[in-house]
Structure 1
């Protein structure tokens, strides 16, 4: 089984499981995530591999990390994630990429990301649920962080934090690659009806 097939199967199984644990019907999850009911059915039946944006929306709507939504096994208190199991979520032909390094659902999902942006490239993000916080640290190059329409220049060595319930994005307007590490803390979601 290829990595993509394994990812598709894990996503299908975990989406069904977490939707059931939250007590969400297909219609409730579709409304919360802004994803069509038909798309959720296709994902749960492992008939499609959704975009990163769709996967993020589903994880946010369920109140879990993307790691939890994609992970095939969880259990021990210490979980080591070798580089070979980190999940490449986004990449371009020029060499830009994001990699989900590790995540947890303790006290609400927390994710740790590694980003590599080539010159002239970037990525925009839809607003996350209210209470979501992002922390990032630029290790090489310069990053333009856009939060709610306002640009912020972060040269190497600079860290930032912001509430991510507004549109935001990351881009490299420089001439050298930009590398950064990002942590995302998402508030927990209660079961429907509580």
Structure 2
């Protein structure tokens, strides 16, 4: 089942009309319909909003459900979700099939790529490690530039966003607790 099909299925299970969910996530009903039909891809920010409003983890929309205790992800098996608009791809490094307290993710952010137009916050903590490239992290009113080999920790309750203002792709390991994906 595709991401769009899962959104549509879960939206129907929740009893939301297309317009109701679109209003909750601040998208047009036509754009949400295109996402459900697989004709458009949501930004990472919008994918999180949709999952939150459907009361599911983002990983539910990406993977099949089955509970496990351990899970191996080989390099060529990483499932990526690409947001063309935000020039960002995320790859889940674990599975929604696990009961876990953290969510490690690999981000690939093209030049000009960003988390979304605005800042967001949520309960929890985040840790970032830059594998290659550079990334500007905006926390409240302060910007910090992270370069290859740098790491950064912050409370997710602070308003935050990121942007690749560099000229090459940035790859980063991002750990979020509790899991939001």
Calculate the TM-score normalised by the size of structure 1.
0.65
Does 2:30 match 1:48?
no
- Max Rg structure: 1
CA displacement, residues 5-63 of structure 1 (integer Å, 9 cap, x when unaligned): xxxx512331133224444343432222112233333433x252323244333123223
Does 2:90 match 1:99?
yes
Matched residues, number: 173
Does 2:131 match 1:163?
no
Q: Gaps (5+ residues) in structure 1?
A: 1-8, 189-194
Alignment counterpart, residue 138 of structure 2, candidates 133, 146, 150:
146
User: Match for residue 129 of structure 2?
Assistant: 137
Cα distance change, pair 185–37 in 1 and its aligned pair in 2 (3 A): farther
Cα distance change, pair 13–91 in 1 and its aligned pair in 2 (3 A): closer
Calculate the TM-score normalised by the size of structure 2.
0.68
Does 2:26 match 1:11?
no
CA displacement, residues 68-120 of structure 1 (integer Å, 9 cap, x when unaligned): 1122x22131444443341142479xxx75332245387899643212446x5
Alignment partners' CA distance in 1, 2:156 and 2:137: 13
The answer on whether the counterparts of 1:135 and 1:184 sit within 8 Å (CA) in structure 2 is yes
Residue pairs, 1:117-128, within 5 angstroms: 117=109, 121-125=112-116, 126-128=118-120
Cα distance change, pair 117–10 in 1 and its aligned pair in 2 (3 A): closer
Does 2:79 match 1:86?
yes
